[in-house]
Chains A and B, each alone.
Chain A
């Protein structure tokens, strides 16, 4: 039997890591949050998510085959992740066609315009969300449709900002479990944290970005309270971490590979800036929530951070 002898430069083995596996892990990590969301908001959550995922995948496929005339890469599951994250960033009552528009912006403009996976300067799902927030502000902040009666038509962040609700009245256990208003995927702090722990364990992400974002937000919130002579030194920071999209953003959105810095030092700078920007927008900005804008702004700063935060070279002090 003729035996072929192969030749190639080293290394001759591979660790087995693949983009598909990484994306699969991210999807798995999002499952608990999806389950919590479905529990509180009903089956419509699954419908919207399915529409978003299908739209993202189909748009990516069509753009690659018809415009780029290249091999399709939908098998790497990154479009699926974008689809789920986009769905997680809209309220459950949103008309399904708005989600499709969001998917077109996310994949078409956010991702494929720049050359596809790894080349996009901004997180595609966030690009979609921000477009929808500006283009359909009413539908994107309509928290009443399809929501249990017990909940008001507004998010806690908005209520606290307008003074309708005091932080001291918030039920932190409910917030922790996910029994609150908000975008589909941002409720359910516990589920999101579990997903984050899974990603850390699988080494898909490192602690630097989530911890620096959440830590900065907590410290900033605590300082604000103390500066204003308030009494809720512990409650206020906790509220800001649990409310809104802080956890979803810190764990799943800001950690997007191609839009976040490459070195640990860079990640910390990026995370701290996101935390600061989020809190500034939340406390003094026009919007009740600033997470997506903060991440978006820092996405733009990522190349600059990469340029100045080089890894520590072996044998050098710096």
Chain B
């Protein structure tokens, strides 16, 4: 069984807490806050004002530039405010607040459950539809999908890789999506293949999800989906990282930046995003909801909910049964790469695949020791970097040397901090180093 070539760790997958919970549709929130930055790139520009009536699926934020994404209203009602509010991390962002009145959808959206497979659109039309629906990478990085699909001149996509790895512990939203919406996923893959003009698509799934592999295989055979195959991958974190997944599936390594995955002929798309692509192209449905797992060891009830964006963390967590007793850490995402949420009134976004509740005891960091040069971080780094050195250079503010040692290639997977026997917060230091080095690189570019 294949996997990526260097580094990696084997954290306990903790999927059992929520993997058997079927997707439930969450009750509509009475009020939503729609953040204009739910993607990487330029924030969308709000095109509604206080007092405007909006329908579910109506465009309310327009992409500001090529690398940006449209934002649609997830409910119908009245815009009560367009203002700056803190997001989950406490960073101030522009948001559109909408008070719900019923649930009236934009007419052009096809809400039937029926699978519509036939697609005769041209690649250009498909990409346009995806762009107007505001589809982004739903694995967490939220890179606008239409940008990924627009292959630069002179390069050619050879393979489409669907990321169903979900290597992050706890999270099960992609898994449930693959199990329950497999048919839509496969049609989405066909559409993406058409948009990219590729003959081959591989769905990469880690071998801790054998039923998802079996289910999709059955659907592929049953539906005669040509060129699509499922590849079980040996469980190892961070297999869901774009470069790691490409290497695992194709054996080809994307060269260091500025090279992009397309330089080895690969385009990667998340499994949930493929379903969103299906809905955007075949059903005219913009990205306004997604499956979000809520899980954790101390939770009474874990769920996989289909939630409209803009629902507040507070509302969502209360709906799922509330926070457990005692101190907690609330993570937007899983424990390896998720971000701690500090502002519970902030809204859920397109990139949120799950909320993991970690107990205070688990969350407290253990006392730092000194580096014993055990080289476990070097062995664990999936990018082949030297975390202990990058951390040290950052601590000593030696940005030039950190740049020489390629600190910007760090994907912030956290393997180094995870393995460190001295509990050193290696990634914390490396992040600081990365930011400074990138600032220096930008400054140099401007000077030129």
Contacts and interface: CB of A to CB of B under 8 A. Distances in A.
Interface of A: 1, 3-15, 17-19, 21-22, 73, 76, 78, 115-119, 206, 257-258, 260-263, 310-316
A257 B373 contact: yes
Contact of B431 (A9, A119, A312): A9
B243 A315 contact: yes
Nearest to B255: A315
Contact of B256 (A8, A311, A314): A314
A311 B418 contact: no
Nearest to B338: A10
B347 interface: no
28 contacts: A4-B360, A5-B330, A5-B341, A10-B335, A10-B337, A10-B414, A11-B336, A11-B414, A12-B329, A12-B336, A12-B358, A13-B335, A15-B418, A19-B369, A19-B372, A22-B372, A78-B372, A118-B373, A258-B372, A262-B375, A312-B384, A313-B406, A314-B254, A314-B382, A314-B409, A315-B255, A316-B255, A316-B384
Interface string B361-374: 01111100111111
Nearest to A12: B335
Contact of A17 (B323, B330, B376): B376
A213 to B, nearest CB: 17
B269 interface: no
Interface residues of B, number: 70
A315 B427 contact: no
Contacts of B243: 314-315
A164 B61 CA distance: 92
A175 to B, nearest CB: 32
B207 interface: no
A11 B337 contact: yes
Given A3-B323, A117-B370, A316-B256, A13 B427 contact: no
A76 B369 contact: yes
Given A314-B382, A314-B409, A8 B372 contact: no
B419 A313 contact: no
Please classify the interface of chain A as helix (H, G, I), strand (E, B), loop, or mixed, using the class held by over half of its residues: loop
Interface in B411-426: 412, 414, 417-423, 425
Please classify the interface of chain B as helix (H, G, I), strand (E, B), loop, or mixed, using the class held by over half of its residues: loop
Interface in B325-342: 325-331, 333, 335-342
Contacts of B333: 10
A154 B329 CA distance: 64
Contacts of B445: none
Given A311-B381, A312-B384, 10 more contacts: A6-B360, A10-B340, A12-B340, A14-B365, A21-B421, A257-B372, A257-B374, A313-B384, A314-B5, A314-B409
B363 A22 contact: no
Given A14-B417, A262-B375, A314-B256, A7 B329 contact: yes
Contacts of B338: 10, 12
A10 B255 contact: no
Contacts of B388: 262
B169 interface: yes
A314 B261 CA distance: 13
Contacts of B356: 12
A315 B372 contact: no
Contacts of B414: 10-11
B418 A6 contact: no
B384 to A, nearest CB: 4
Pairs of residues from A and B, 5 with the lowest C-beta to C-beta distance, nearest first: A11-B414, A7-B340, A262-B375, A6-B329, A118-B372
B81 interface: no
B86 interface: no
